């Protein structure tokens, strides 16, 4: 396992110096899900929320979060995003909405944190908009599923193992 790169040789936290790294095309995809009561999902899909278009607002919140990640995560670099897409997929049989965010940049550092932050805020926005009818919603499975670019190249979740040695599978 590599050393944690947000600590210097004395163990003090610092922002990683990316000034000498070449700019490359960077892509990151992250996912997460929110489980709810079936009636809540039905309300969302039929547009019955008093607060408006739940998934439309959650999509905008996700995009906004991706652009503000460096303000929320102390050692993240502010980066120029060239594209962010947010896809919500409802699963009526299981009363779940899955979110997949793709973040793209041309830069010196990856966009994994931007994708992960976007998924998190999208799920939280759905919760916020629907909590009046369902406080028992559960947000889960927020994780990186793919990354491209930079020194480490490509990475896909299904090719790695989690801490317990179990192959990590997307939702």
Residues annotated catalytic, as ranges: 128
109: nearest Cα among 12, 7, 25: 25
**Rounded CA separation 154/171 (Å):** 20
Kind plus residue range of the DSSP H or E element containing 117: helix 112-130
106: nearest Cα among 30, 23, 2: 23
**Rounded CA separation 55/67 (Å):** 19
- The single-letter DSSP state of residue 167 is B
CA of 26: how far to CAs of 13, 94, 160, in Å?
Answer: 25, 33, 20
- The single-letter DSSP state of residue 156 is E
């Amino acid at each position: 396992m590599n050393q944690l790169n947000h600590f210097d040789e004395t163990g003090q936290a610092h922002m990683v110096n990316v000034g000498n790294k070449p700019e490359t095309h960077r892509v990151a995809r992250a996912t997460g899900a929110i489980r709810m009561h079936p009636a809540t999902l039905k309300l969302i899909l039929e547009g019955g929320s008093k607060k408006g278009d739940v998934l439309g607002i959650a999509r905008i919140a996700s995009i906004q979060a991706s652009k503000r990640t460096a303000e929320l995560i102390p050692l993240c670099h502010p980066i120029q995003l060239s594209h962010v897409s947010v896809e919500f997929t409802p699963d009526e049989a299981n009363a779940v909405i899955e979110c997949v965010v793709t973040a793209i940049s041309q830069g010196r550092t990856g966009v994994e944190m931007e994708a992960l932050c976007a998924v998190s805020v999208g799920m939280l926005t759905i919760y916020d908009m629907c909590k009046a009818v369902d406080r028992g919603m559960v947000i889960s499975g927020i994780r990186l599923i793919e990354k491209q670019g930079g020194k480490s190249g490509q990475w896909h979740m299904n090719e790695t193992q989690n801490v317990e040695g179990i192959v990590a599978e997307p939702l």
